[in-house]
Amino acid sequence: MVMLKQNFDFISKRKIALVGSGLLLLISMVSLVVNGLKLGIDFTGGTLIEVGYSEIVELDSIRSALEAHEFGDATVQHFGTAKDVLIRIKPREGVNHSQASVQVLSAINSSSEQIADLRRVEFVGPQVGDELAEDGGLALLYSIFGILIYVAWRFEYKFALGSVAALIHDVVITLGFFSVLGLEFDLTVLAAILAVIGYSLNDTIVVYDRIRENFRNLRKGTPQVILNNSLNQTLSRTLMTSLTTMLVLIALAFLGGEIIHNFAIALLVGVLTGTYSSIFIASPVVLALGVRKEDLMLPEKEGEDINNHP
């Protein structure tokens, strides 16, 4: 198979990419501050009720029935098929989850010719939700801190800062995407964010490996030239990996059902931003920090020069 040799000048476009990334980060952070995240009951606490119908049911009629019975804040969505419905309601003072499920079932059955069967009821207390939110945030921080140490040990501190900058870029934009569109953020989305960190880091490490190799092997060439050569040499692998991953995620997002829909969307956005950041964020940051060939050369062993003399 013949491989086409790419020769794109990525580094010269770094300022344009910086402006674009800056705008996306600004929009994301403003939305996160103003709108926040639409947290699921995993974090806020509440009751999850699954009901089933014998025929296809419209969600609008269920929402109208719940609003008429003072459950206007309930979240209603299909679960698996158009005959199965998942209802999420927030905690109510003086009402336990058993009573809440009975009230919800009574509300939706009183205004519909179809009778819903109660399939499942789950309850998450507010205290448990707060602990999950705190633990999830700590998991993100610990993973980023661990990556900083790992990359600094494997490469050099300038590469560690570049990889962390790319990871923060990817996470903030993915969270901003959920905040701007008002998509629900639950534990499955948090798991997707952690997976995005691993995916983005893997892409960045592949590029960094080639940069280090080229710095050691190429005698001539400025850092800009070496970084461009490295990005072009790894471009085919980066694009093929990202495209095949996105094909699977698109299928999951549209065909996998409501339970993993937001999980797939988070991964899809993360893969896109991770591919972009490994080219236009991680490498330009290393260049801005002044990476040199001397930073990546292997240390000479003691007595090596003596052994080379006749």
State the chain's mean pLDDT as an integer.
81
Tokens standing for 272? 């896109």
Residue with the larger pLDDT of the pair 220 and 303: 220
- The arrangement of strands across the sheet holding 75-79 comes to 75-79, 81-89, 46-52, 117-124
Confidence label for 219 from pLDDT (cuts 50, 70 and 90)? low
Tell whether the model's pLDDT for residue 155 goes beyond 60: yes
169: alpha, beta or left? (left if phi > 0; alpha if psi -120 to 50): alpha
Helices and strands (H, E) in the chain, number of each type: 11, 6
**Which architecture characterizes domain 11-38+128-295 according to CATH?**
Up-down Bundle (1.20)
Query: pLDDT for 93-130, tens place per residue?
Result: 666 667 777 888 888 887 777 788 888 887 776 655 66
Tell whether the model's pLDDT for residue 226 goes beyond 60: yes
C-alpha–C-alpha distance, residues 45 and 190, integer Å = 16
Output the pTM of the full model: 0.78
- What residue spans define the domains of the chain? 11-38+128-295, 46-124
CATH 3.30.70.100 fits 46-124, yes or no: yes
Query: pLDDT for 27-60, tens place per residue?
Result: 999 999 999 888 877 777 778 888 888 888 888 8
Query: pLDDT for 171-202, tens place per residue?
Result: 999 999 999 998 888 888 888 988 888 888 88
300: alpha, beta or left? (left if phi > 0; alpha if psi -120 to 50): beta
